């Protein structure tokens, strides 16, 4: 029997709860597909600080590197908020991305037809749906560039630097082109090439690569315009590739359009052959922890991405995504989703059980 080694990092807050629900669904998938999924539970985040003094123990990194894929819940919480930046639970995320070389973050943002009424967009627009894959650069740009404080001519000042190499742009753009080729064949590259030199290099590099992908239609938007078009015509986009900072902001905007942050999965990928990491885009939601009210669907849909991207189990990934649609179509909602007439409010465990049952 094929054996898949999955590193599980429950983390803090609602992380353990949503991952418990996700394992319920994965167990059902494994028994139907005749594969063995072996889980190794690992410490990271606040719980790791309490147990070892480190947000990301070396043993966790080593076990992740040995695994076929990593599933993460969420890290962080008010208990650890007063620690200095490099000791905080969230350091674990950056550390894992660095250690595994995860340079591209894939965030699908899909508006389910059953939830179009929960979207803050005008009904005429939300009724047309949305199915966008964001490909965000994850290990470069301003979040990793040179920064500092100094005394300037007008007093104290601070600076951050946006810097991208051709190689960094090419490897993330390639993920975008490949993804578009497997979807509707449309790639939108978002930059600020009218102002930023780093964006001009970004655009030149993406255009040069487009010759390798004749089946993909490439267009470009400035980030300010992209933020408007996402609200005006979200249904028009297929794959969006962009820098670390622009992707951070735009993908949260798209998350709101779907109705709840509790629905959005993500995958962080590196070079082929290295384990990828899958996690919901939401945080540890300390306000909900331990109450069986968190929405597990973002985590369950992250596991579906793992089945497709790390294990090439496309049919199983489709089955999980369809099961989620069916459960939503049947009117089941966790508390974070706007409840309509005829909907039934359920908890984390029940939502997970229903998805497993609808596979
Ligand atoms: P958050 O995503 O945890 O919560 C934002 C809001 O969304 C809250 O009202 C929360 O109740 C709600 N929410 C989030 N996930 C939900 C779910 N699955 N079901 C229902 N409702 C959900 O963001 P925050 O409040 O800014 O951060 C809380 C903690 O999480 C902080 O310590 C932060 O640093 C950390 N964080 C971690 C990650 C991560 O682990 N990847 C990401 C973001 C924030």
Catalytic residues: 143, 192, 224, 248, 252
Write the CA distances from 110 to 56, 76, 79, 242, 321, integer angstroms: 32, 26, 33, 18, 11
Q: Confidence class of residue 186 from pLDDT cuts 50, 70 and 90?
A: very high
Q: What is the mean pLDDT of residues 36-62?
A: 97
Q: What is the mean pLDDT of residues 14-23?
A: 98
Q: Whose CA is nearest to atom 22 of ligand 1?
A: 262
pLDDT above 90: percentage of residues in the chain: 89
**Tokens 């790390």 belong to residue:** 310
**What is the 283 CA–ligand 1 centroid distance (Å)?**
3
Q: What is the mean pLDDT of residues 207-226?
A: 98
> What is the per-residue pLDDT for 22?
98
pLDDT above 70: percentage of residues in the chain: 100
Q: Confidence class of residue 118 from pLDDT cuts 50, 70 and 90?
A: confident
Burial 138-169 (b: 16+ CB within 10 A, else e): bbbbbbbeeeeeeeeeeeeeeeeebebeeebb
By most ligand atoms within 8 Å of CB, the mutation choice from 77, 285, 299 for ligand 1 is 285
* Residues of each domain in the chain carrying CATH 3.40.718.10: 1-106+261-359, 120-257
Q: What is the mean pLDDT of residues 296-306?
A: 98
> Do residues 268 and 276 touch, judged by C-beta distance below 8 A?
yes
Q: Confidence class of residue 357 from pLDDT cuts 50, 70 and 90?
A: very high
d(CA 54, CA 33) in angstroms, rounded, equals 38
Q: Is 75 in the pocket of ligand 1 (CB under 6 A)?
A: yes
Q: Confidence class of residue 195 from pLDDT cuts 50, 70 and 90?
A: very high
Q: CATH top-level class for 120-257?
A: alpha beta
**Tokens 């990092």 belong to residue:** 9
Q: Is 127 in the pocket of ligand 1 (CB under 6 A)?
A: no
> What is the per-residue pLDDT for 306?
98
> What is the per-residue pLDDT for 268?
98
Q: Is 268 in the pocket of ligand 1 (CB under 6 A)?
A: no
pLDDT at 117 over 90: no
> What is the per-residue pLDDT for 64?
98
Q: Confidence class of residue 107 from pLDDT cuts 50, 70 and 90?
A: very high
Mean pLDDT over the full length of the chain: 95
- Could you tell me which residue, 254 or 198, shows the higher pLDDT? 198
CATH annotation of 1-106+261-359:
3.40.718.10
pLDDT at 198 over 80: yes
pLDDT at 339 over 80: no
Q: Whose CA is nearest to atom 25 of ligand 1?
A: 285
**What is the 222 CA–ligand 1 centroid distance (Å)?**
29
pLDDT at 85 over 90: no
Q: Is 105 in the pocket of ligand 1 (CB under 6 A)?
A: no
Q: Is 95 in the pocket of ligand 1 (CB under 6 A)?
A: no
State pLDDT tens for residues 235-283: 999 999 999 999 999 988 998 888 888 999 999 999 988 999 999 999 9
d(CA 297, CA 18) in angstroms, rounded, equals 8
Beta strand 69-74 pairing with 276-280:
parallel
> Do residues 142 and 161 touch, judged by C-beta distance below 8 A?
yes
Q: Whose CA is nearest to atom 4 of ligand 1?
A: 285
16 Cβ neighbours under 8 A, 6+ residues apart = 10, 73
Q: Whose CA is nearest to atom 44 of ligand 1?
A: 283
Q: What is the mean pLDDT of residues 175-194?
A: 97
> Do residues 246 and 195 touch, judged by C-beta distance below 8 A?
no
- Could you tell me which residue, 84 or 33, shows the higher pLDDT? 33
> What is the per-residue pLDDT for 29?
98
pLDDT at 179 over 80: yes
Q: What is the mean pLDDT of residues 205-227?
A: 98
């Amino acid at each position: 029997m094929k054996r898949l080694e999955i590193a599980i990092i429950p983390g803090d807050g609602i992380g353990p709860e949503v991952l418990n629900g996700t394992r319920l669904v994965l167990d059902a998938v494994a028994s139907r597909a005749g594969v063995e999924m072996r889980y190794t539970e690992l410490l990271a985040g606040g719980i790791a600080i309490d147990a070892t003094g480190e947000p990301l123990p070396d043993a966790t990194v080593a076990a992740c590197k040995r695994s076929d894929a990593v599933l993460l819940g969420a890290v962080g919480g008010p208990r650890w908020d007063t620690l200095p930046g490099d000791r905080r639970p969230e350091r674990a995320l950056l550390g894992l991305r660095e250690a595994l070389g995860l340079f591209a973050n894939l965030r699908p943002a899909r508006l389910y037809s059953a939830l179009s009424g929960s979207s803050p967009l005008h009904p005429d627009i939300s009724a047309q749906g949305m199915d966008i894959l964001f490909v965000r650069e994850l290990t470069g740009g301003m979040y990793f560039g040179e920064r500092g404080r100094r005394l300037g001519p007008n007093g104290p000042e601070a600076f951050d630097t946006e810097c991208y190499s051709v190689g960094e742009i090419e490897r993330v753009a390639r993920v975008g082109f490949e993804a578009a080729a497997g979807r509707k064949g449309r790639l939108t590259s978002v930059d600020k090439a009218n102002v930023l030199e780093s964006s001009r290099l970004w655009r030149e590099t993406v255009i040069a690569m487009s010759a390798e992908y004749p089946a993909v239609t490439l267009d470009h938007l400035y980030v300010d315009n992209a933020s408007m078009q996402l609200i005006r015509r979200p249904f028009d986009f297929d794959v969006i590739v962009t820098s670390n900072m622009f992707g951070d902001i735009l993908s949260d905007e798209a998350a709101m359009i779907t109705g709840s942050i509790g629905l959005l999965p993500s995958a962080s990928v590196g070079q082929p052959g290295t384990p990828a990491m899958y996690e919901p885009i939401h945080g540890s939601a300390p306000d909900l922890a331990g109450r069986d009210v968190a929405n597990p669907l973002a985590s369950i849909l992250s596991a579906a991405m793992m089945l497709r991207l790390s294990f090439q189990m496309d049919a199983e990934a489709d089955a999980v995504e369809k099961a989620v649609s069916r459960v939503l179509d049947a009117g089941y909602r966790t508390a974070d989703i706007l409840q309509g007439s005829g909907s039934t409010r359920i908890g984390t465990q029940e939502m997970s059980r229903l998805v497993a049952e609808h596979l």
